[in-house]
Structure 1
Amino acid sequence: MPSLQLGSPVCSCDLQQKGMHADTSVWGMNPDVVSPSWSSLANLMDDEADEYYEYYDEYTQVEEEPSKEIVHLGEPDWVDLSPHYRRIQQGDLCSSNPCKNNGWCEMRGSNFTCLCSRPYTGDTCEKVEDTCVDNNCVRGDCLVTLTKPYYQCSCSHPYKLPDCQQASSQCRPNPCKNGGICMRHRMRSKFTCNCPEPYQGRFCEIGPDDCYEEDSFYYRGRVNQAENGRTCLHWNSHLLLDFSINAFMEDAKSYGIGEHNFCRNPDDDQKPWCFIRKNGKVEWDFCDVSPCSGTDEEIQEEENEMFKTCGQPETQRGLKRIYGGTKTTAGKHPWMVSLQRKSSRRVTHFCGGVLIKSCWVLTAAHCVENQAEDLQVALGKQNLKRREHQEQIFDVEKVIMHYRYRVKDYVPYNDIALLKLKPIDGQCAIETKYVKTACLPDFEFPAGTDCFISGWGETETADMSLQLLDTSVKLISQKQCNAPRVYDQRLDESMFCAGNLRRGRTDSCQVCCFFCII
């Protein structure tokens, strides 16, 4: 497995398509066609390459460690289903322990089984059992815990443990902090804390220093109230078990998330937020927390630098809050490009691309059948709806499509193109934390290689995402991809496949990749 010195794996994709994808690959082209190395390609681009662009192809790079989330009960989905391969793998399924959360792997015949510790469950101990099913917290919320009895109630004041059914006096003892005065209402459960300056919050627990800095990802304050006044749910609430952001997600502590209900910003949104319960449904809302003084100042322009590295993002943060994909954070895919169509009325995103040099973007040929003057690209984008301080916008000077690009039986062949950006004041893209180039591969990746795909658009739920998403798939062998139940020999050696095949279904790949570039 190659080292990460070439950079993290990336696929630049249009999420508006579904199904397993096959696309162009330089390694499978006609041997009679001369195919110079990627370094030669870089030189050609510097000299405004001619119409022969059979050299530009898509492959992905492996991660530093295999993705454990891809492992399924029994034989992995992505393997080439040959008898020889199965003989090699069947006795080795537990060697890497595919069981999560300290689960124990046991071989049973040719398959494996994970023995999970409560409250974890699922084929690979990847889920958390809802231990609150038979435990009712009447005037509160039931929380899932990792210690016996694996649940506890969080009662709304003035209701008391163990089941939040009985209430004490609203103001005895005084629940208000920092000198706040408790005022009783007519209803036994209602009260108000009159807070002295500068304290605020339901219990006067929020002090003047509880604010968020410019990067609110690092907010670790104690505000637990949304802007609409509702109290935040605990991150370990049983109501959040089906959400990807909760107290049981991977590396929860590094995001400031745990068995509490304080506001956090694990996905680099505008400001800290939390989940709330509204009209019997779980929603999210930004929190009633203020920015620290000085954070509203104009953001200083990034230092202009030439591109010194490729394929190395400065952030790895990315969490699932949008169903069907990971809501990424600024800088996680700094080579990702939004291709946009200009009109007299508006600018519309329609495809993805990858920045490979300061003035060059690699994309799919079927995306750029428009004239260059109708196109622009946006670099450093995360949310298509907002204007973002880190974005860089360029018009397209030239479109160069693969001269053998064609579509036959709905399958694109040689589906690759280059866009040359139009410089502004003699300068194209400038390297920042949010804008970097992807590396170009000089070797072929085997089937089973983990691959990240990223993009905007329609997900498998048919909902549109204006936020950049990513997910992972595996490269699939040509033999599997050309099987009768999949593409039925329609793919030639100039293509490769990426997706997740599962038994009993032709295709379960949730999003579809145009091309994969290191």
Structure 2
Amino acid sequence: MKKKDKHNHHGRHGPPHEHGPGHPHDRQNKRRGHGRFDAITHDEFFQIIPGGDGGDDDEDDESSDWLYDLQEPEGVCVPNPCLHNGVCREKERGKRKFKCDCPKPFKGKKCPKRCKRGQCGRGECVVTSKPPYYECKCKAPFLPPNCVDYEVCEPNPCQNGGTCVRDGNDFDCTCSPGFTGRLCKVGPDDCYTDDGESYRGNVSETDDGHDCLFWNSHFVLEDGTNPFDTTDKEDGLGPHNYCRNPDGERMPWCFYRKGRDLKWDYCDVRKCDDPTGTVQDMWTATAQKQITRIYGGLKPTPGSLPWQVSVQMRPRNSNVPFSHTCGGVLIESCWVLTAGHCIQTNKDMQVVLGSQDLSAKEPDEQVLTVEEAIRHENYSEKSYAVYNDIALLRLKGQNGKCAEESQFVKTACLPDGPLPDGMECTISGWGSTENSSYGSHHLLEAKVLLINQQKCSQPQIYGRVLDNGMLCAGHLAGGVDSCQGDSGGPLSCEQNSAYMVYGLVSWGDQCGKKNKPGIYTRVAKYVDWIRSKTMIKK
């Protein structure tokens, strides 16, 4: 593939949709269908040539003769200048003239032609791997297979329930609510995250309104075999004209043609909403991935979750009362395990152990100051997920002793291996409930099931954003889940009469939503890291 020239972007460096509603790039306000019919019929590459063979077009072959001459061939046909297994025949001895007998469907001086000017009428010619080695992609309103005949709005070119509105030989699509694009292909959830490397949506227009070329267009591919199968490659390229970012640009892009020149530009694709500046702000998001996440919970009996910790914060060096921010798990007298996104360096921190009701001081609770917070070195926040979401809190104590073990304060074990899918475990915390978005004063618990990672990675659930540092737990039907304020709290599982902290509440898509179970940090992956920081022995 070639990617050299680029359309001048007029000095605008932000994403295409930084402009507001009503901007001329808004597809619903931009009646770009008008004049399109004339533009197609006047384009030299969409001309209808009698006979349909596009002429000889040998002028393109002549431009590459200089390269052949530089190779200093031993003879006119050595090495063979004919491409695609063409047979070279010497025409006139001593004058370096040759003729290529080309296998069908290749034609031309050196057999390079699969797609030729005029071969596809009013459509784009794309390269294929199988005979006849090309395919015509018609420009609406021209009809397949030869892109010569046309019919406006019959059949309806507008997709996803869009209505075709005719205006002479041109048309516009009035899209159903939530759908955009000239042919209504772009759905309401069609957007990209980060730099768009993982974008697999349906946008096929540049920011300046040019139609994207197919990735297997003959304008894009050099001579040779079509590299694309019928299914997308890992980088999202294939026999389609949807925008992608296979080479690390700042957002999805595509090739387009201007006359005989091949150019590229960024696409008119929306960046997924990210209401955050920090992970903590995501707690207030409505439809975005929430990094805090107990719906359907019940009050546990006192002392049944003695490793549960309330992580509390206040502004640094202030006299403001501490308030509950996250959950945590006591794993050693002076060490608490929590989520990485719970750490705020500009806050004073303390932990409360042995408490059931945060609205009242209880006789069995213990309050300890956090002396140091250690977040995982590879912690990473994305708008769609949080990676390596784990941290340790070192508590302040005396003579290596901090928390005092009691009926209501005990440590949880670290896992020593994987647990079976479908196993029932317990989640707990003081987070938001179905009745209170501000959280519960009383500790709640609920039973959830460990969900198969492959199942959880299906497109309708969480897709490909999960890694082996995460695990799914909950109920795919929804209803029971962790929620805001539970972050960092335990997913506790019983094995051999001992309770282990198998996961930490990390993130998820809303709370208690169907097909959106909670995502938990897989503690088993980080046991070595935990031991290296705490010196806790096996």
Tell whether the structures are fold-level matches, with TM greater than 0.5.
Answer: no
Q: What TM-score results when the alignment is normalised by the length of structure 2?
A: 0.34
Q: What TM-score results when the alignment is normalised by the length of structure 1?
A: 0.35
**Bigger RCO (CA 8 Å, 6+ sep):** 1
Structure exhibiting the larger radius of gyration computed from Cα positions: 2
